Amino acid sequence: MTTRRKFLQLSALTSALGVLLPSSAKASTKSNSPIVVSTWEHGLPANAAAWNVLSSGGLAIDAVEAGVRIPEADPEVRTVGYGGYPDSEGNVTLDACIMDENMNCGSVAYLQGIKHPISVARRVMDKTPHVMLVGEGAKAFALQQGFIEENLLTAEAKTDWKNWLKTRKVQQINIENHDTIGMLALDKKGNLSGACTTSGAAYKLPGRVGDSPIIGSGLYVDNEVGAATATGMGELMMKTVGCHLVVELMRQGASPEEACKGAVERIALKLGDYKVFQVGFLALNKQGEYGAHCIQPGFNYAVHDGNGAQLIDGKSLLKGA
């Protein structure tokens, strides 16, 4: 049978039944039990904050905002918010986006001097007719909304940057260079939301923006189907609109893990240099099932549901040295 015929049959079946096909992904305890998942080990404390919201009946959108604010404020997390690696000129520039169950979304990019870009993105979503504000405009909006301007370059990040200036070696996001937090949550009402926030690639060219604030690339939520977020070298997600692809694969019947694997395979098929980069996708569907896939070994993700917290290794396309 041709792939197209198989696809059409699958689509007809799923739409006739009005449900997704059975999935091999890991599952939460029961449908509509709250759950939150997020990228990397820094997702553990972030999930705990999100779980406080979810377990008391709060909304997924409030949970993801509260959750990712934890690494944004933590100077030990060197790839998100305060304490993040600066660009090549020593400026910390932040990108973030947020999306709810009604396709509402907000985003900021190249934002400087504001510790919580995710909350500015939320204000863009809630208070403006726009989706995305960037640079000085985003900062002016944040200040007008009452956010405080702060120096985000910590002494440690400044020292690392000055050391980097001695060689100016180009940094690429790979397995040694963990990054973005992407978070997805399902609340007690069965609604999905997501958030994604990062300081981006270390020592990037001034003005560079990655996938994390781009709806469809670093985050996508479709409340009928599921949600996806991404971490790693943003340019690869931007070239493939990776998170939108993951959600569309779930719509066609793929489990979250299968959908993430499909997006990683699309990158491998289309982008010749993928082997030197890390990319990780994480997905959560409407049933509370979750899964991930990445290019290189080493990507992990945090899960918090009624059974407690765990950290899980994502399966990878490449098997490592």
Judged by CB, which is closer to ligand GLY: 212, or 223? Answer: 212
93 classed as catalytic: no
Judged by CB, which is closer to ligand GLY: 87, or 211? Answer: 211
Selected from 63, 118, 201, 225, the binder of ligand GLY by CB under 6 A is 201
Q: What b-and-e string marks burial along 213-237, b requiring 16 or more CB atoms within 10 Å of the CB?
A: bbbbbbbbbbbebbbbbbbbbbbbb
User: What minimum distance in Å lies between the beta carbon of 261 and ligand GLY?
Assistant: 19
Q: Is 212 in the site for ligand GLY (CB under 6 A)?
A: yes
The token pair that represents 202 in the structure block: 């270390």
Judged by CB, which is closer to ligand GLY: 36, or 173? Answer: 173
- Closest by CA position to 212, among listed 185, 239, 230: 230
d(CA 310, CA 43): 10
∠ CA 257-68-35, nearest 5°, is 45
The token pair that represents 67 in the structure block: 């959750």
Selected from 179, 187, 248, 257, the binder of ligand GLY by CB under 6 A is 179
Judged by CB, which is closer to ligand GLY: 86, or 234? Answer: 234
Selected from 84, 210, 262, 288, the binder of ligand GLY by CB under 6 A is 210
Residues 106-125 that bind ligand GLY (CB under 6 A): none
Using CB under 6 A, count the residues that bind ligand GLY.
Answer: 13
Catalytic hit among 180, 198, 229, 231: 180
Judged by CB, which is closer to ligand GLY: 51, or 299? Answer: 299
Beta strands in 131-218 (DSSP E): 132-134, 181-186, 192-198
What radius of gyration do the chain's Cα atoms show?
19
Q: Is 284 in the site for ligand GLY (CB under 6 A)?
A: no
Task: Give the position of tokens 């059975």.
Answer: 22
The token pair that represents 72 in the structure block: 């944004």
Among the candidate windows 143-151, 173-181, 257-265, 305-313, which touches ligand GLY by CB under 6 A?
173-181
User: What minimum distance in Å lies between the beta carbon of 52 and ligand GLY?
Assistant: 26
Under a CB-based contact definition with an 8 Å cutoff, are residues 186 and 284 in contact? yes
Burial class (CB in 10 A: 0-12, 13-18, 19+), 167: exposed
Q: What is the DSSP letter of 318?
A: S
CA atoms within 13 A on the CB side of 112: 15
Residues 214-243 that bind ligand GLY (CB under 6 A): 231-234
User: What minimum distance in Å lies between the beta carbon of 97 and ligand GLY?
Assistant: 11
Q: Which residues bind ligand GLY (CB under 6 A)?
A: 173, 179-180, 198, 200-201, 210-212, 231-234
Catalytic residues: 180
